């Protein structure tokens, strides 16, 4: 079963715009991670935020975590055509087992 739910399921924007994806989950977590997947490929780890952190940055990525609302958001600033991919949130509760959401499919049009 999938704990996380991403919103929106699909997002289409123009190059240069910001993209925001949201993730909600159901149970308490140790950390939340975001992964990226290009079509037909494996997943690539983007960023990890721990349950005691509220915000984290990595390059053009900004992740927030609100444990009281059991939600997280991923912001990609100044998007590029190469950012076109599916983005998944994954929660880790115990034993380093990740539970993935259904993903947001992002298309960045040049």
List interacting residues with other proteins (CB under 8 A). Answer: 1-2, 4, 31, 33, 35, 40-45, 48, 88, 90, 92, 95-103
Residue 89 C-alpha from the chain's centroid:
4
| 95 versus 110: smaller Cβ distance to other proteins | 95
Q: Give the torsion through C-alpha atoms of 55, 91, 70, 41, to 10 deg.
A: 80
SS3 82: helix
Pair 58, 47: CB distance under 8 Å: yes
| 27 versus 110: smaller Cβ distance to other proteins | 27
| 41 versus 80: smaller Cβ distance to other proteins | 41
Q: Please report how close the Cβ of residue 40 comes to other proteins at its closest, in angstroms.
A: 7
Q: Please report how close the Cβ of residue 39 comes to other proteins at its closest, in angstroms.
A: 11
| 42 versus 110: smaller Cβ distance to other proteins | 42
Q: Please report how close the Cβ of residue 33 comes to other proteins at its closest, in angstroms.
A: 7
Pair 32, 88: CB distance under 8 Å: no
Pair 104, 23: CB distance under 8 Å: no
């Amino acid at each position: 079963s999938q704990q996380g739910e991403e919103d929106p399921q699909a997002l289409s924007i123009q190059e240069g715009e910001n993209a925001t994806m949201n993730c909600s989950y159901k149970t308490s977590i140790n950390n939340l991670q975001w992964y990226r997947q290009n079509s037909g490929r494996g997943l690539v780890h983007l960023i990890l935020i721990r349950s005691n952190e509220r915000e984290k940055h990595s390059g053009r990525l900004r992740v927030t975590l609100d444990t009281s609302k059991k939600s997280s958001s991923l912001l990609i600033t100044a998007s590029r055509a190469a950012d076109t991919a599916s983005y998944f949130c994954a929660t880790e509760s115990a034993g380093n087992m990740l539970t993935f959401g259904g993903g947001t499919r992002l298309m960045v049009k040049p």
